[in-house]
Amino acid sequence: MTHGPHLPQPEVIELRLLLEAIYQAYGYDFRNYSLAHLKRRVEQRLLLSGFASISHLQHELLHNPELLPIVLQDLSINVSEMFRDPSFYQALRAEVLPILETYPSIRIWHAGCAAGQEAYSMAILLHEAELLERSTLFVTDFNPRLVALAQEGRYPLSAIKKYTANYQASGGSDSFAEHYTVRDNHAEMAAFLRDRMVFSEHNLATDGVFGEMHLVICRNVLIYFNAHLQNRVLGLFVESLCPGGFLCLGSKETLRFSEHAPSFEPVVERERIYRKRRRPPQEETP
């Protein structure tokens, strides 16, 4: 049996039992997430809640379902911003949108959507390219709270300066302010962007494929998974993408060591943009 990095044996056992309890009682599967990542999140919950140990937290969680949304929020990946990594969006504009333009309808899956910032960023790109009206963006996360936040599309005004700078650096051609209205010290994203989105819960650890996608965006999510779960999720993306469809990963993620790497060819390797081969690797001609 292997243990997480720098984790003493009792904590490993407690943490694994907590993850098993969450799965058995509520169906949320964190058992193949990075233990180091989960350890940090759980320790923070212990400090905030005053629980004496991970075992104490497990006991309370099993006997108090109202604690579940709090723990799910702790374990969720909710770090994002609009037009994060502007060079990635420059590459999308140059290399991916011209291909998407050739399709009569466009299906895009944002897997692990956080609070929806990247989905709205993509919708703005499509709008500027006059492709939004024939696009459907499927925006998913396992955490229903994050899905609800993404559907609201409301972001603090304090973040808008950064979002605007990212948008401009990504090659945005309009005023960023045209894409939102200000209300109650928040920026609410325009309805014409949200109207092209379908929001739903989807758990990458346990749920099935989203079929016939032309583009899958899952950036900075795989880094929180162990190798087994990374492999499962990449296989899910292979099955969900149509031949010639695109997959976008985060800057610290790569297909290089995955068994699914032969199913893709790099489009812009430095931005982790890949394209699914039109034929399985064994059918490729030398």
| Residue 129, pLDDT score | 96
pTM: 0.86
Q: What average pLDDT does the segment 152-162 reach?
A: 94
Phi and psi (nearest 5°) for 225? -105, 155
Average pLDDT, the chain: 91
Domains and CATH numbers, the chain: 9-75 (no CATH), 86-283 (3.40.50.150)
For the record, the structure tokens of 221 come out as: 């999510």
Sheet holding 106-111, edge to edge: 197-201, 135-141, 106-111, 213-217, 241-248, 273-276, 264-268
Question: Using 50, 70 and 90 to split pLDDT, how confident is the model at 279?
Answer: confident
- The C-alpha atoms of residue 165 and residue 169 are separated, in whole angstroms, by 6
Q: Which of 99, 86, 107 shows the shortest CA–CA distance to 176?
A: 86
Question: Using 50, 70 and 90 to split pLDDT, how confident is the model at 17?
Answer: very high
Question: Using 50, 70 and 90 to split pLDDT, how confident is the model at 113?
Answer: confident
According to DSSP, residue 12 is labeled H
Q: Provide the 10 A C-beta neighbour count for residue 270.
A: 10
Q: What angle do CA 118, 142, 228 make, to 5 degrees?
A: 95
- The C-alpha atoms of residue 147 and residue 176 are separated, in whole angstroms, by 24
| Residue 73, pLDDT score | 85
DSSP letters, 163-215, are HHHHHHHTT--S-GGGGEEEETTEEEEPHHHHTTEEEEE--TTT-----SEEE
Question: Using 50, 70 and 90 to split pLDDT, how confident is the model at 6?
Answer: low
Write the pLDDT tens digit of every residue in 72-90. 888 877 668 999 999 999 9
Cβ 233 vs Cβ 225: under 8 Å = yes
pLDDT at 170 over 80: yes
| Residue 7, pLDDT score | 53
pLDDT at 244 over 50: yes
| Residue 2, pLDDT score | 46
Q: Which of 106, 247, 92 shows the shortest CA–CA distance to 171?
A: 92
pLDDT at 211 over 90: no
Question: Using 50, 70 and 90 to split pLDDT, how confident is the model at 97?
Answer: very high
Q: Specify whether the backbone of 6 is left (phi greater than 0), alpha (psi in -120 to 50) or beta.
A: left
Phi and psi (nearest 5°) for 198? -120, 120
**114 vs 124 pLDDT, higher one:** 124
- The C-alpha atoms of residue 227 and residue 45 are separated, in whole angstroms, by 26
Write the pLDDT tens digit of every residue in 19-42. 999 999 999 999 888 888 888 889
